[in-house]
Structure 1
Amino acid sequence: MTHRTPNQDVPTALPPGYRFNEFEIKEVIGGGGVGIVYRAWDHQLERIVAIKEFMPSSLSRRGDNNALVLRSQRCSKAFSAGLNNFIQQARLLAQFTHPNLLQVLHFWSENNTAYMATVFYSGMTLSRLKNHHPDQIDESWIRQMLPVLLDAMKTLHEGGYLHRDISLDNIQIQENGLPVLLDFGCARRTISNIADETEIMLRPGYTPIEQYSDDSENAQGPWTDIYALGAVLYTLIIGSPPPVSVARKTEDRYEPLSKLLPPGYSPSLLQAVDRALALQPQDRPQCVDEFAELLALPVKEEEPLAKAPEPPSLPVMPVNEVKRKPLSSVLKHLVFHRPAISAACVVAALVLGGVLIRSVMSTPQAALTSDTPSPPVASAALSDDEQEIALFYFELSKGSQLLINNKPYPRAPGPDGILTVRLKAGEYTFAVQQNGAAPARSVTVKHPGTWFITL
């Protein structure tokens, strides 16, 4: 990766020269709220690798001898959930050896946390490529990039998994022009229903309508990832993401590309993107092969988009947990050695309760972004040092008033009828008052998450 985050910007990072047996830290690649990624040297196989450390700065800090300690006892549950997700992500990735899926080489526990070593990929994220080299992106480039990306998605789907967070930030374009699909913190088996609201990942513009639901009525499947890929293509073509899907449910302001006819793009590509971005899942291509057929593309590896020397062939060691401290003892050790502090466990735009452990291989940014100002925080059940951890979307009709714990919420919905509210942990009763009637619903917020509520 070409983008670097200086060590001084990640004060909790391990120092250059730190050793994990055969791995030696060389520099920080990126750092965010949930982890740190380093460029490291593998002395055993003499190659560069990337090492990802689970280090949620809102829940833990670097203690003596570089070990992590919890900021307070009440952080233990969130830390445990995030650590378990990190472990599951490594195990999921270990099942695949596709050249365009992030490849894990090693996995181990140390310093009261967990680490994974992965292949080090050159280049930059698709987001950075779009921002810094937009002239390189045209239909020809897209059609050369897509077959290998589609093949990676197909491999994932055939293995029984969904990515559920495909975006410009999670696609790495290597120096040879070939893409790699990153960040599997949100991936889940397609046969599993979402049972916990904290397992809902939202990326406005890229997330389809079925991912906003906290029930099993709207099934997720390959069409869920196809919608997100359609949003990626739409952004590359238009320059900005499509309208938020949950807002389209109330008033669909999506303008089909086949009607906009942006110059330089064929009708077949534009129509395929429109199909991928259909609001209802049943109206989209149901599998990668069907989407590839609409694009008139093969699902196979193409020639590199730009000539670049291939790295030397090196043996890939199987994923394993290095025999250090068992992972089951990590959290216990953290709690036992915690410092006597009362700092709040600030979660700050992370969903640590089961799904979202954002990859920091790309430039870190919040999981939920918006061009509009953040809504005010409603009254909470906890002390003032606790920050809001939950995001609610309410669909309101014209003239209705949202009540939270029997008090009118001071902010009106947008033109699309969608009102966003951020809340702290606690118990809430929501009601919508209109024409004297006020249907209500009670929700208990215990963990970070996102809800879409219709009353």
Structure 2
Amino acid sequence: MLDNDFIPRVPNALPPGYRFDEFEIQEAIDASVTSILYRAWDHQLERLVAIREYMPKAYVMRNDVMELVLHSERDHLVYTAGLNSFMQEARQLAHFNHPNLPQVLRIWSDNNTAYIVTLFYSGMTLDELQKQQPSLIDEAWLRRMLPMLCGALATLHAAEHLHRNLSLKSIQIQDNGLPILLNTGAPRRGQGSLDEGNTLLHPGFAPLEQYTGDLASQLGPWTDIYAVGAVLYTLITGNAPPASVARSIQDSCVKLAESQPEGYSLNLLQAVDKALSLKPEDRPQSIDAFAALLNIQPGDVRELVSSKKTGTALVPVEDPDNTAVLPRWKRYQPALQIGAGAAAGLIVGAVLFGRGSPSVSSPKTCPCVADC
């Protein structure tokens, strides 16, 4: 039943009780500048799921029948480009098979927008964990988490995708202790995305090349590696490193190998310092190179990188011209060496804390742009 008196905690969110066939919205639990995340109930399989709705609030609002309409006809092209990118990246994520990446169950279009359904992962982000249980985080804990986090990133990189949005809020530690790399609907190809310049940057976590105009020639695995270094720096020191733009003017970021925080090995601190190098060429150029700096025990995750998931319902929307354009950074091959791999990840996860497709309607055209 739809709650007609519902006042959304998240502006423009769908109300509790709204149905997409077997999926019933329970609550809007998070929002970004480009999407809204809902907790929902799958009546067919009787389980919780997460639904992410493409909702770039700068360009659209919701009308009385729950459809998205543009603020201005001028926004038609940029909205459509973003929508196509959202769906294409969901399809790419659906092909990944890694225990530390969200499992996409279904994607479809409705209400003049698009939706992605994934498993529902309960737990807390690293940001929440650091605030609520800071004593839990030490080098041993980090070294148990890092192989799984690196494996997830390497899976993206092997498919020529970058995350580009890493921060403490985009890594969730589940109740079972396993990390999940969130916001993976945001990864961009190294080149060719129509909305590359619209990625929301997190000061302190985004490297300098993400602030420049010539993105295609400078982004690569080292871009995400900088963000991983910033995540580790924040967990170790309690403070995020200075924004890379500010560092490029006057670098006030104190190297961890010099400050030597108590309880952390020089090897780990030096690896973080290397990852936080301002110049892309000074950082590790791949996840396996970064893992080598960390002295992570080698493992083989090639079967995770190349495996294709089954059972994901890919309901298409109209695509733009998807002529393949390879990024300028060399394709990152899946022969990386990461510590524990998937099987070990499932084993050590608990230690981190110490414990059929229904029919859908066809995509619609926003009424305000019907004549565009």
Which category describes the TM-score, using the shorter chain as reference length? 0.7 to 0.9
Tell me which residue corresponds to 1:188: 188
Residue-by-residue CA offset, 1:396-416 (whole Å, 9 max, x unaligned): xxxxxxxxxxxxxxxxxxxxx
Aligned to 1:30, the other structure's residue is in SS state strand
| Partner of residue 348, structure 1 | none
Aligned equivalents of 1:140, 1:130: Cα separation in 2: 15
* Contact persistence 1:186–1:201 (CA under 8 A): no
Quote the sequence identity (%). 52
1:324 aligns with 2:360: yes
Instruction: Give the secondary structure class of the aligned counterpart of 2:219.
Output: coil
C-alpha contact (below 8 Å) 1:125/1:170 kept by paired residues: yes
CA drift at 1:144: 0.9
1:112-127 → structure 2 map (5 Å cutoff): 112-127=112-127
Counterpart residue identity of residue 241, structure 1: A
Give the counterpart of 2:349 among 301, 304, 307: 304
Please say if residues 126 and 169 of structure 1, whose CA atoms lie closer than 8 Å, have aligned partners that are also in contact.
yes
Give the conservation status (yes or no) of the 8 Å contact 2:27–2:40: yes
Where 1:331 maps in the other structure, the secondary structure is coil
2:151 maps to amino acid: D
Match of 2:369 among 332, 335, 339: 335
The answer (yes or no) to whether the contact 2:52–2:115 under 8 Å persists in 1 is yes
Give the residue type in structure 2 aligned to 1:45: L
Distance in 2, matches of 1:128 and 1:305, equals 18
| CA separation of 1:292 and 1:269: change in aligned 2, threshold 3 A | same
**Pairing of 1:415-430 with structure 2 (within 5 A):** none
Instruction: Tell me, yes or no, if the aligned pair for 1:163 and 1:186 is still in contact at 8 Å.
Output: yes
CA RMSD of aligned residues (A): 2.7
After TM superposition, give the deviation of residue 257 of structure 1 in Å.
0.3
Note the 1:7-26 alignment, pairs <5 A.
8-26=8-26
Q: C-alpha separation between the residues in 1 aligned to 2:200 and 2:41?
A: 34
| Amino acid paired to 2:30 | G
- Map 1:89-108; keep pairs closer than 5 Å: 89-108=89-108
Please report how far the alpha carbon of residue 281 of structure 1 lies from its aligned counterpart in structure 2 after TM superposition.
1.7
Within 5 A, what are the aligned runs for 1:331-410?
331-333=365-367, 335-336=369-370
Tell me which residue corresponds to 2:222. Answer: 223
The Cα of 1:325 is off from its aligned counterpart by 3.4
Q: 1:157 to 1:267 in 2, by over 3 A?
A: same
**Normalized per residue, which structure has more helix?**
2
Contact map agreement 1:42 1:48 (CA 8 A) in 2: yes
SS of match in other structure, 1:9: coil
Determine which structure has greater relative contact order: mean sequence separation of CA pairs < 8 Å that are 6+ residues apart, divided by chain length.
2
Q: Which residue of 2 aligns with 1:280?
A: 279
Letter in 2 for 1:335: V
Structure 1 residues 240 and 35, CA gap change in structure 2 (3 angstroms): same
Task: Report what 2:41 is aligned to.
Answer: 41
- The AA in structure 1 aligned to 2:226 is Y
Residue 157, structure 1, aligned to residue 157, structure 2:
yes
Matched with 2:318 is none
Q: Which amino acid aligns with 1:13?
A: A
Does the 8 Å CA contact 1:100/1:181 hold for their aligned counterparts?
yes
- Return the alpha-carbon distance in structure 2 between the equivalents of residues 193 and 86 of structure 1: 14
Distance of 1:108 and 1:57 partners within structure 2? 20
- For the residues of structure 2 that align with 1:11 and 1:101, how far apart are their CA atoms? 28
Once the two structures are TM-superposed, the CA of residue 275 in structure 1 deviates from its matched residue by: 1.0
The structural deviation recorded for 1:74 is 3.1
Q: Size of the alignment, in residue pairs?
A: 320
Q: Spell out structure 1 runs of 4+ moving beyond 4 A.
A: 193-197
Where 1:44 maps in the other structure, the secondary structure is coil
